[in-house]
Amino acid sequence: MRVTLLGTGDTTGTPTVGCDCATCERARDRGVERSRFSVHVENERTGDCLLIDASPDFRHQFAETGADLPDAAVITHIHFDHLDGLGNFYRLLDDLPVHAASEVDPFTGESVADSVRERYDYLDVVDVFGQEPLTTFSTCGLELTLVPVEHPPMACYGLVVEDPETGAKLSLSGDTSYDIPQASRDALRDPDLLLADAIVPASLAPKHPMGGSDVVDGVPMTFGTKHMTREGALRLSEDLDADETRLVHLAHYYPVNEAFAEPLAVDGEVYEL
């Protein structure tokens, strides 16, 4: 299983357009990017490729990495930075199966699958398949499980990707607070690679209008209510006994002296599981 981090940034990316903060300037100087979140998984046994979330930066990401176009996609939730890249498939593919959760979100009154189906009904290439959370399904020769996480007010899901022949396991936290349900933690446990949402360091929690939450030993594991802090993501990694962890969905608010330290990811990283 070959995992390529196409996009490792939050909703504005780094460097952020029009921003001259020290972190954005350092990113420009280093020639690195954190574009909007997306992950490419190649099943090297079959040659099939899976896209996890469709970033608005789709064209740039695929052009930069040379990644093969996907044979299927998974959408974790309906925020634009994870969804709006689907429109790029016009004239690129004849058919793209898109998998998303089938359970109804009380906030929107429809499932993620229904929302994707409705928004992209004009794209004949997109064929949406609803999947029951915490129930494994197969695509691209891999076994996938969507796991509910906490990203209020909308429903959001993490994802487990396993190779049934090699046993390789990739876990993604999804956009989430640290307060991930136990059943989801159990499914995410023991990955070879964990990609964990870590939008900012805990030191910045006082800058959020809601402060920090899920406090452990005086340190907020969650920034506001929607995203883990760096410290929360690292604690989740320990909780899940991950072999390797990369922090993703990173904002340009990281102080410049912390913004490119390990294990914070940048676009283009590749992992063989």
As a whole number of angstroms, the distance between CA 138 and CA 161 comes to 10
- Token pair 């990283």 is at which residue? 269
Is-contact 130 113, C-beta < 8 A? Answer: yes
pLDDT of residue 110: 97
pLDDT of residue 107: 94
pLDDT of residue 18: 96
Q: What is the pLDDT of residues 132-185, one digit of tens each?
A: 999 999 999 999 999 999 999 999 999 999 999 999 999 999 999 999 999 999
Give the three-class secondary structure for 240: helix
Segments making up each domain of the chain, as ranges: 2-272
Cα–Cα separations (whole angstroms), residue 49 to 2, 42, 69, 218: 9, 4, 7, 42
Residue 95 is encoded by which pair of tokens?
């058919």
Instruction: Grade residue 80 by pLDDT with cuts at 50, 70 and 90.
Output: very high
Is-contact 128 98, C-beta < 8 A? Answer: yes
Span 249-255, mean pLDDT?
A: 98
Is-contact 8 50, C-beta < 8 A? Answer: no
Element (H, E) at 17: none
CA dihedral over 98, 179, 273, 169, signed as positive or negative: negative
Instruction: Grade residue 120 by pLDDT with cuts at 50, 70 and 90.
Output: very high
Average pLDDT taken over every residue of the chain:
97
As a whole number of angstroms, the distance between CA 52 and CA 72 comes to 9
Q: The domain 2-272 belongs to what CATH superfamily?
A: Ribonuclease Z/Hydroxyacylglutathione hydrolase-like (3.60.15.10)
pLDDT of residue 245: 98
Instruction: Grade residue 1 by pLDDT with cuts at 50, 70 and 90.
Output: very high
- pTM summary value: 0.98
Q: 130, exposed or middle or buried, with CB in 10 Å at 0-12, 13-18, 19+?
A: middle
As a whole number of angstroms, the distance between CA 109 and CA 154 comes to 10
pLDDT of residue 229: 98
AA letter at 102: S
